Structure 1
Amino acid sequence: MDATFYMEKAVFNYRVAAVVILDNHVLIHKQAKDEHWALPGGRVELQEDSQTSIVREIKEELGIDVKVDRLLWFTENFFDYNNKDYHEIGLYYKVSPLYGSFNFQKEEFFGEEGDRLIYQWVPISSLEKIKLYPEFIRTSLNELPEAPQHLIVKQYSI
């Protein structure tokens, strides 16, 4: 069971995301029905630690075994999506493949879960032009923090 709680007009969500960088490109994804992008990842399950969650999510979504390199950001993210107010706790981890390397492709592609999620490798230098949430990701990937940062994000409607 996901650590997500739905109320009449609000949602509390506990999410992990992977920062996957290859050749100055970052891997992003979006739901097929959405116009905005995010870093790959998903919801933490109850009784599951966040590092186990991101390893599980990447395996489920991309079929790749990863290791957690380090925590980059801990966020308290407030936004509106589908007419609901979200309060999201997000942990953003730099990850790398456990074996071999990630498959780099120039075109958009689907992951292991069929056509629900679309993935794309995007040059980090081009992120400012993409509708990518949370917005701090667009500039923060230029120079990853040495130590984990705590961010409070209150800025957008999706």
Structure 2
Amino acid sequence: MLEELGVESDVKRHLWFVENFFEYSNRRVHEIANYFLVELTEPSQLPLNKVFRGIEADVDLEFKWFPLSEIPETELKPDFLRTGLSDLPVETKYIKVSEIAS
């Protein structure tokens, strides 16, 4: 959070260990991801109405915050986040996601 957004935070706990298989730019991708519950040290440091930009491998990226109430209608990848963010696991869960057609 400090490197990407310039805000300090505390990691509260590990939520998910995810293996994600998907296609991107006509190639198959196997992503290993860890998701954590994080609390901002000073929430006022992060303006919630600001769009954050980034560039990765010549792709324009846009990052923004959404209220939890809007998450079920928001396009998120991997898809499990749309329901998972409103029902956080008590213990770390392993999730395998495959969006690659068989």
2:42 equivalent to 1:83 = no
The equivalent residue for 2:42 is 100
8 A contact 1:104–1:121 mirrored in 2: no
Q: Which structure 1 segments of 5+ residues have no match?
A: 1-57
Larger RCO (alpha carbons 8 Å, 6+ apart): 2
The letter of the residue matching 1:65 is: E
- Residue 142 of structure 1 is aligned with which of 69, 86, 101? 86
Give the drift of 1:126: 1.8
How many angstroms apart in 2 are the aligned matches of 1:69 and 1:143? 16
Give the drift of 1:129: 2.1
How many angstroms apart in 2 are the aligned matches of 1:105 and 1:76? 29
RMSD: 2.2
The equivalent residue for 1:63 is 6
Please report the TM-score for the alignment, with normalisation by the length of structure 1: 0.54
Which portions of structure 1, spanning 4 or more consecutive aligned residues, are displaced by more than 4 angstroms? none
1:143 to 1:104, Cα distance in 2 relative to 1, 3 A:
farther
How many angstroms apart in 2 are the aligned matches of 1:123 and 1:100? 18
Q: Which structure 2 segments of 5+ residues have no match?
A: none
2:21 equivalent to 1:74 = no
1:156 to 1:139, Cα distance in 2 relative to 1, 3 A:
farther
Q: Percent same amino acid among aligned pairs?
A: 35
